[in-house]
Amino acid sequence: MDLYKNPVFDMACRQFDAVADRLQMPDGDRLRLKSPKRALCVSVPVRMEDGSTRVFAGYRVQHHLSLGPTKGGIRYHPWVELGEVAALAMWMSWKCALTGLPYGGAKGGVAVDPRALTSGELERLTRRYTQELIGFIGPQLDVPAPDLGTNEQTMAWMMDTYSVHAGHPVPGVVTGKPVGIGGSLGRREATGRGVAYLAGRAMDTLGLAAEGATAVIQGYGNVGSVAAQSLVKQGLRVIAVGDATGAINNPKGLDLPHLERWVAERKTVVGFPESEPLPPEELLLLPCDVLVPAAMERQITESNATRLRCRVLAEGANGPTTPEADRILNERGDVFVVPDILCNAGGVVVSYFEWVQDLQSFFWSEGEVMDRLFRILEGAFVQTLGLARRDGIPMRLAATTLGVQRVWEAKKLRGLFP
Q: Is 107 a catalytic residue?
A: yes
**Quick one: how many helices (H) and strands (E) in the chain?**
14, 12
With respect to ligand NAD, which residue has the nearer C-beta, 81 or 243? 243
First to last CA, the chain: 18
Give the integer Cα–Cα distance in Å for 173 and 19.
32
Minimum CB–partner distance for residue 219 and ligand NAD (Å) = 3
Cβ-based nearer residue to ligand NAD, 66 or 344? 344
Phi, psi of 143 (to 5 degrees): -120, 100
Q: Which residue has its beta carbon closest to ligand NAD?
A: 221
| Least distance to ligand NAD, CB of residue 122, Å | 13
Where does this chain bind ligand NAD (CB under 6 A)?
146-149, 191, 218-224, 242-244, 294-296, 316-318, 344, 347
CB of 148 to ligand NAD, least distance (A): 4
Q: Nearest distance from residue 402's CB to ligand NAD, in Å?
A: 18
Strand 38-47 versus strand 214-218 pairing type: unpaired
Rounded (10°) angle between helices 346-360 and 82-98: 80
Question: Any idea what DSSP says for residue 4?
Answer: G
The Cα 364–Cα 74 span in angstroms is: 25
Pick 32 or 77: Cβ nearer ligand NAD: 77
Closer by beta carbon to ligand NAD, 171 or else 176: 176
Q: Is the CB of 149 or the CB of 171 nearer to ligand NAD?
A: 149
Give the separation between CA 216 and CA 313, rounded to whole angstroms.
Answer: 10
CB of 390 to ligand NAD, least distance (A): 27
Active-site residue among 34, 71, 95, 107? Answer: 107
Quote the strand ranges of 123-184, DSSP E: 142-146
Q: How far is CA 126 from the centre of its chain?
A: 20
Cβ proximity of 71 and 142 under 8 Å = yes
Amino acid at 77: H
Give me the active site residues, please: 107
